[in-house]
Amino acid sequence: MKSFHNSVCVAALAAAIGLLAGPAHAQSAAPKASDKPDTGEIIVTAQKRAENVQNVPLAVSVLGASQLQAAGVRNFQDLGAVSPSLTIRPAEHPVNANVSLRGVGTFAFGIGVEPSVAVLVDEVPMAFQARAFTDLPDVERIEVLRGPQSTLYGKAASAGLINIITRGPSDTLKVRANATVTTDQEYAVNASVSGPISPTVGYVFSAAYSKWEGNVRNLFNGQKLNGREAGNVRAKIRWEPSSDAKLTLSLNYMNGNTNIGRPIIAQAASANFRGTAGQTISQVLPGVVVGPNNQNASINYTSRTKYQGGGGNLRGEFTLGDHSLVTITSYDKFRLDDYFDSDETSSALTGFNNIQVGTFKSTLFTQEVRLLSDGSKPFHYTVGAYYANVDFERPFYRGPAFSLANWYATSKSSQIAGFVQADWQFMPKATLTGGGRVQNEKVSYTFQDIQNGNAQFSGSAQDTAATYRISARYEFTPRINAFVTYSTGYKGQTYDLTTGFNANRAAAGPIKPETSRDIEFGVRSQLFDRKVTLNVTYFDTTYKNLQAQTIETLADGTTNFRLTNVGKLGTHGFEIDAGYRPSSDFNFNSSLAILDAKYIDYPVAQCFPGQTAAQGCVAGTPSSQNLTGTRAVQAPQFKMSATAEYTPQIRDGLRGLAQVNVQHQSSVYYAARDPQTFQKGYEIVNMSLGIRDENRRWEVAAFVNNLFDQQYYPSLINSNGSWGNAMTTQAVLPRDFRRYGGLRASLNF
C-alpha cells in the first residue's frame, strides 16, 4: 500500500509538470471580487487596489471556495493543505500555534511578540492569530501573499500575510447554505443571505456553526479530546448615497471552545513520571498503549480553551474626481481562557497533579486612510496613513505541585505610519513600481510576579523604521510577463513576557526589531487561449536579528533561556503555480514549493532534551548547541498540492462531479535536529463524488478524506523532561489522522 501512496503522489506531480498545471490561485473559476460576469480574470487587492492577479509583481495565491472544499479545508488551520509555502503547526491551544511562510514564523508565546505572518479579514488586521483559528467565515476568496509585505501592511507582515475576503452585499436577493456531516461525528452548517433593502442600501448576513468531538479518547472519563465547537455571525450593511460614495458597516461575533489530548506515541521502557521509581506509564496513564497509532490519553483535568470575541469596521469609499479615497476604521475585542493539565496524567498522587490556567485578552483599534489615483493611467499611485493601538492582558497560574508560576502581565503598542506606492508605465510594455513606509511604534509593559514576592516591573521603548519595495515588470505579450522585485521587511521590537521574567530580563530591555530583505524573480503566463496558466517565482530572503529562543548573558553576568535576537536566517527556493482548464468540464490546479531555509548565524541555541555531546550539545551552564547551517524548523524542502475537478453533463441541467486532491510534504523537523520531532514525508489523498445543478444552484457530494489512511503528525513534542529524562514523544493529531468520509450539500440561488 505504501508504494501505491507514492505512486499516486508521483503521478499527480508528473501531471502537474506535464500539463503545465498550476495552483488553486491561478484558476479562471475562482470566485470574483464582484457579481460581474466571468472574464477569465482573478481580481485581488494585494496592493490595496483591485487588480488582475496576473499583473501583480508579487507572489500571490488566491484560494476559492471550491478548492477549499476539494482539499477538505473548513478551518483556518487547514489552509496549509492548499498553499504549499504555508505551514500551520497546531499546539495545545490556538495562541501557541504557529503560522509560517517559506519556513519563517514566530516561535514564541509572549503576549507582546507579534507574528511574522499577518492575518487580515477584509483588509482589517487581527491582533491575535488565535482569533483566526476557527471556522472560515462566508469566504469569497483567500489571498496568501508570500514574502515581506511590510511596505503596505506594516510590521506584523515580515514573512507575508493571509487576507480573508468575505462576501459583500449583492444587487439581487441571494441565498447560500452549506451543510456537512462526517462519519466521525463532525457537523457543520453555514448560511448567508444578501440582497438590496432599497436602491441605495444592501446587506449580507451570514452565520456558521460546527462541532467535532475529536479523535483522541480520554481513558480517565471516556471523553473525546482534540475536538472543537465554534459559532460565528457576520453582517454587512452597504449604503451608496450617490455614485461617488459608498459606506460599508461590517460586524462580527464568534464564540467557541476546543479541547486537547496529546497521545504518547513513543517512549523508552525505563521512563518513570517525574523520575519517580514505579511511576510508569501503566500507573499514571492506565490503559494507554504507546505506539505510532496511539489515540488514547488519560488526564484527570480537561485541557481546553473557551473563547469569544467581536468587533466591526466601517469602510468608506469616495470618488474625488479621478481619485478615490478609502477609509477603514476598526475595533476588535477578543478573550481566550485556557486550561491545561500540565502533568498530562490521571495520577492521584498529590505531588503529581498540576494544572495551568490563564487568559489572553486583546483590544485593537485601527484607522487607515488611503488615496488612490486613477489606475488606468500610465502613472498611478497609492498614498496613505495608518494608526493602530493594541492592548494585551495575560494573567497566568501554574501549580500547585511543580513548575510554579503566578503572574500578571500587560503589553501595549501604538504605531503610526505613512506609506506610498507608485506605478509608472514608462514604456508601452514596461512598468516600474516603487513604494516606502515610515512608521513609529511605542511599546510598553507591566509584569507582576505574584509567585515571587509580588515583584513588579515595567518598561517602555519606541522605534522608528522605514521599509521599501521596488520592482520592474515587462509584458512580453498581453498574457506573458516577467518581474523582478526587491523589498525589505520589519518586525517590531518586543518584550519577552513569559514565566521567568525577572529583574535581569527587565534590565536587558526590549528585543531588537527583526529585519529582512527579499529579492524575487517571477514569470506570469496564460497560454492557449487562457486554458493553461503557469506562474513561476524564485525568491531569496535573509532575516537579520532573528527573534527566537536562545541562551543569553544578562545584566548581572548570569545566563538563561529567553526570546532574543539570535542571528540570521536565509530562505530561498521556487514556487510554481499553474492551472489547466481545457473546457468547462475539466479543471486542474496545482501548487508546488521547493524550499531551502537554513539558519545562517545561530551560534548559541538551546539543546533539545536528551541531546548528547555526539549530537552537538556543548556542556556548559547552561549547555548549548550551534545551529548555524541547520535547516530551519517547520520548513519542508518540498510541498505540493494538486486538485482535479471533472463535471460531465449527465442530462440537461444536471452535471456530475468528481474531485481529487493530492497533497505531499517532505520531511520536517518541529525542533531543530531533535529526532523525536522529525516528521517523515507523507501524502494525503482526498476524493469527492456527487452531482450539481448546471448553474450550481445546488450540489450534493460524498467525500472521503485521507483516502489511503496515511498517518502523520502536524506537531511533535519532546517530553523527556517530564519522564525522568527518558525518551518520551507526544503528538498533536491532525483532523485527518484517520480516514473519514462524509456528505456535503449546498444551495446557491
Residue 559 clears pLDDT 60, i.e. is over it: no
Q: Measuring CA to CA, how many Å separate 244 from each of 45, 317, 318, 372?
A: 20, 8, 5, 14
The distance of Cα 205 from the centroid of its chain, to the nearest Å, equals: 25
Q: How far is CA 207 from CA 32, 139, 234, 745, in A?
A: 21, 12, 6, 16
Separation of alpha carbons 443 and 460, rounded Å: 6
**Residue 63 to residue 31: CA distance in whole angstroms:** 8
pLDDT at 555 over 80: no
DSSP states of 263-295: -EEEE-TT--GGG-TT--HHHHSTT---STT--
The three grid cell numbers given for residue 98, joined into one nine-digit string: 504557529
Contact criterion met (CB below 8 Å) for 479 and 526: yes
Percent of the chain at pLDDT exceeding 70 = 91
Look at residue 465 and give its three-state secondary structure. Answer: strand
Give yes or no for a contact between 317 and 324, defined as CB atoms under 8 angstroms apart.
yes
Contact 416, 440 (CB under 8 A): yes
- Domain count within the chain: 1
- Residue given cell 480517565 in the structure block: 220
Confidence of residue 134 (pLDDT cuts 50, 70, 90): low
Peptide bond into 400 cis (omega under 30): yes
What's phi and psi for 674, nearest 5 deg?
-75, 110
Query: So what's the pLDDT on residue 56?
Result: 85
> What pLDDT score was predicted for residue 566?
82
Asked if residues 136 and 188 have their Cβ atoms less than 8 Å apart, the reply is no
pLDDT band at 485 (very low <50, low <70, confident <90, very high): very high
**With 80 as the cut, is the pLDDT of residue 692 above it?**
yes
Structure confidence at residue 550 as a pLDDT band (50, 70, 90): low
Domain residues for the domain of 35 are 2-748
d(CA 516, CA 605): 21
Burial of 343 from C-beta contacts in 10 A (0-12 / 13-18 / 19+): buried
Show Cβ contacts of residue 133 under 8 Å, excluding neighbours closer than 6 positions.
75, 76, 77, 94, 97
CA distance 126 to 363: 10
Nearest to 58 by CA among 522, 710, 404: 522
Least confident of 9-18, 223-232, 270-279, 558-567: 9-18
Comparing 66-80, 216-230, 343-357, 588-602, the range with the smallest average pLDDT is: 66-80
Distance CA 515, CA 489 (A): 5
pLDDT (0 to 100) of residue 551: 60
Domain holding 522: CATH number? 2.40.170.20
Q: For position 54, what pLDDT does the model report?
A: 85
The cell numbers describing 343, all together, are 502533568
- Give the model's pLDDT for residue 119: 87
Q: Is the pLDDT of residue 9 over 70?
A: no
**pLDDT reading at 3 higher than 60:** no
Residues 334, 131 contacting (CB under 8 angstroms): yes
Question: What's the whole-number average pLDDT of the chain?
Answer: 88
Q: Is the pLDDT of residue 31 over 70?
A: no
pLDDT digits (tens, 9 = 90+) for 283-309: 999 999 999 999 999 999 999 999 999
Cis bond upstream, residue 622 (ω within 30): yes
Phi-psi region of 151 (alpha: psi -120 to 50; beta: other; left: phi over 0): alpha
What is the residue-wise DSSP string for 508-558?
Answer: H-PBPPEEEEEEEEEEEEEETTTTEEEEEEEEEEEEES-EEEEEEE-TTS-
Q: Cα separation of 394 and 420, whole Å? A: 36
Q: Is there a contact between 412 and 443 (Cβ–Cβ < 8 Å)?
A: yes
pLDDT tens per residue, range 93-105: 776 777 888 888 8
Distance CA 290, CA 205 (A): 48
The sign of the torsion formed by the CA atoms of 676, 731, 80, 680 equals positive
- Residue 227, helix vs strand vs coil: coil
Q: Please give the single-letter amino acid code of residue 709.
A: D
pLDDT per residue as tens digits for the range 603-641: 988 899 899 999 999 988 788 999 999 999 989 999 999
Q: What is the pLDDT of residues 659-674, one digit of tens each?
A: 999 999 999 999 999 9
Strand residues in 619-667 grouped as ranges (E): 624-625, 638-646, 649-651, 654-665
Of 198, 226, 164, 213, the closest CA to residue 31 belongs to 164
What is the C-alpha separation between 661 and 588, in angstroms, rounded? 10
Query: Per residue in 165-200, pLDDT tens?
Result: 888 999 999 999 999 999 999 999 999 999 999 999
Structural contact between residues 115 and 86, judged by C-beta atoms closer than 8 angstroms: no
Count other Cβ atoms within 10 Å, centred on residue 632.
27
Q: How many CB atoms lie within 10 A of CB 219?
A: 16
* Residue 476, C-alpha cell as written in the block: 512580453
User: Out of 48-52, 352-356, 520-524, 720-724, which region has the weakest mean confidence (pLDDT)?
Assistant: 48-52
Residue 8 has pLDDT above 60, yes or no: no
Q: Which of 113-122, 236-245, 286-295, 417-426 has the lowest mean pLDDT?
A: 113-122
Which of 10-24, 301-315, 548-562 is the least confident region? 10-24
pLDDT at 621: 78
The fraction of the chain above a pLDDT of 90, given in percent, is 67
Q: For the residues 704-731, what does the mean pLDDT come to?
A: 94
Instruction: Provide the pLDDT for residue 556.
Output: 55
Distance CA 96, CA 90 (A): 8
How does pLDDT run across 213-231, given as a tens digit for each residue?
Answer: 999 999 999 999 999 999 9
Mean pLDDT, range 28-33, rounded to an integer: 34
Degrees, nearest 5: CA angle 448-452-454: 40
pLDDT over 90 (residue 541): yes
Dist CA 4 CA 567 (whole Å): 43
Q: Burial letters for 706-743: b for 16+ Cβ neighbours within 10 Å, e otherwise?
A: bbeebbbbbbbbbbbebbbebbbbbbbbbbbbbbbebe
Window from 57-61, 374-378, 425-429 with minimum mean pLDDT: 57-61
